[in-house]
């Protein structure tokens, strides 16, 4: 994993210290400064993020390419949009540079070079790049489901194993969304925060865009046990639904989101009372936090600890669910619930985790709710050595970009 807080280990450490990777940045001269969660000083390159997290995931899992039988499910909601914006700017707003020796302008040469590589920037090429990197000839999937992409990718990896198509899958999501168009679009919607991210707070301002990536090695329990893998947790089940309601606003009443949670619990053979913690979507927007709070109070009237980590990492859009799963696995490993960084004055009657909270944590839900009414929920549990289930045996870590 990689976020504005660094590697998985450093992100977890800073999260528990209630630190945030959100700072005021102005990466584009034509736009004003915004609070953003950048990995470096400038917007990241998507392919570089993929290369680094996949390499480190394999190393941590003790795997060496080529891995021809390893499935690949790598998602992104924005994918290479940043590269397309750069190319479009060159084409539609060209300066008047001097001619080179061939009679073409330097700008024309750059456009030709960009167009010659345009196939490498198609939305699914992150998954293809991963397949090349690990030498996979197994199924390759590239889901795009807005902010639900990360959990959807892991769910698809789960299904590849459950249906017997693969015994091992590398799955996750990568996002480098800091582009002029993305910033301008969210700004026009009035969704961007002015100072920071404050999930579930009475005075929350909106979301803060962030960069991030989280990649996991999924294996059948049989294979993981056979090779003595270090197992971080079990995937117990998932739920995926769609609102079919609006391009951006969640469905009033949250009927489809509620159905996704119920679907996940049923598939996981769990009751609401067995859930020890919920990692919420918690974007710090008015509608999401209100609807999510209503959903939790409706389905978990007995109360359950909840928090959002976006106050630390920003909203990494399609990668946010994958980052959430990584933090959930760390909670299972260390038996500590992460705090809701940025929360000062709660608006909702929820058991919000304000400071790190130790506990007996065995079953966790992770929520993602994306534009277009994409609802994704996944249930995770502490690894049970004797069970034949579908397990996660890696949550990638890395120290440098």
Catalytic annotation, residues? 147, 281, 315
Question: What is d(CA 330, CA 12) in angstroms, rounded to the nearest whole number?
Answer: 8
Cα 121 from chain centre: 20
CA-wise closest residue to 373 among 253, 265, 248: 248
Question: What is d(CA 212, CA 1) in angstroms, rounded to the nearest whole number?
Answer: 7
Q: What SS3 state is found at 141?
A: strand
Report CA Rg, the chain. 21
Beta strand segments in 159-208, E: 168-175
Beta strand segments in 21-76, E: 23-25, 34-36, 71-75
Cβ-contact 199, 284 below 8 angstroms: yes
Tokens of 34: 């915004």
Q: What SS3 state is found at 29?
A: coil
Question: What is d(CA 277, CA 89) in angstroms, rounded to the nearest whole number?
Answer: 46
Q: Around Cβ 205, how many Cβ atoms within 10 Å? A: 18
CA dihedral 337, 358, 342, 238 (to 10 degrees): 10
Beta strand segments in 115-167, E: 140-141
Cβ-contact 147, 168 below 8 angstroms: no
Greatest Cα-to-Cα distance within the chain, rounded to the nearest angstrom: 75
Tokens of 381: 């549990």
Question: What is d(CA 23, CA 330) in angstroms, rounded to the nearest whole number?
Answer: 25
Q: Around Cβ 101, how many Cβ atoms within 10 Å? A: 5
φ and ψ of 342, to 5 deg? 95, -15
β-strand 71-75 against 168-175: which pairing, if any?
A: parallel
Q: What SS3 state is found at 37?
A: strand
Give the chain's length: 401
Question: What is d(CA 45, CA 25) in angstroms, rounded to the nearest whole number?
Answer: 17
């Amino acid at each position: 994993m990689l976020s504005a807080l660094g590697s998985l280990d450093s992100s977890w450490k800073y999260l528990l210290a209630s630190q945030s990777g959100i700072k005021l940045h102005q990466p584009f001269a034509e736009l004003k400064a915004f609070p953003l969660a950048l990995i470096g000083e400038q917007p990241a390159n998507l392919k570089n993020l993929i290369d680094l997290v996949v390499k480190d995931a394999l190393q941590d899992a003790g795997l060496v390419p080529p891995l021809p039988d390893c499935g690949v499910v790598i998602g992104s909601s924005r994918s290479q949009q940043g590269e397309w914006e750069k190319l479009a700017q060159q084409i539609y707003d060209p300066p008047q540079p001097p001619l080179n020796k061939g009679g073409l302008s330097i700008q024309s040469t750059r456009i030709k070079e960009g167009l010659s590589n345009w196939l490498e920037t198609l939305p699914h090429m992150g998954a293809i790049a991963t397949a090349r990197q690990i030498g996979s000839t197994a199924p390759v999937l590239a889901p795009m489901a807005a902010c639900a992409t990360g959990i959807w990718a892991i769910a698809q990896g789960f299904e590849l194993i459950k249906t017997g198509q693969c015994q091992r899958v590398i799955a996750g999501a990568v996002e480098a969304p800091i582009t002029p168009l993305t910033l301008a679009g969210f700004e026009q919607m009035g969704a961007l925060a002015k100072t920071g991210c404050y999930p579930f707070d009475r005075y929350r301002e909106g979301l803060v865009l962030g960069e991030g990536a989280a990649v996991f090695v999924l294996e059948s329990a049989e294979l993981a046990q056979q090779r003595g893998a270090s197992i971080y947790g079990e995937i117990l089940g998932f739920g995926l639904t769609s609102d079919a309601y609006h391009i951006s606003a969640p469905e009033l009443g949250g009927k489809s989101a509620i159905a996704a949670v119920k679907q996940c619990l049923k598939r996981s053979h769990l009751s609401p009372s067995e859930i020890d913690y919920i990692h919420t979507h918690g974007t710090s927007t008015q509608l999401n936090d209100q609807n999510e709070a209503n959903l939790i109070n409706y389905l978990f009237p007995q109360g359950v600890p909840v928090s959002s980590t976006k106050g630390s990492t920003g909203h990494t859009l399609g990668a946010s669910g994958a980052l959430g799963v990584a933090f959930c696995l760390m909670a299972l490993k260390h038996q500590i619930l992460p705090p809701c960084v940025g929360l000062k004055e709660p608006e909702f009657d929820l058991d919000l985790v304000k400071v790190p909270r130790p506990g007996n944590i065995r079953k966790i839900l992770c929520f993602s709710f994306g534009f277009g009414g994409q609802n994704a929920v996944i249930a995770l549990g502490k690894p049970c050595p004797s069970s034949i289930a579908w397990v996660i045996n890696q949550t990638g870590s890395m120290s440098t970009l």
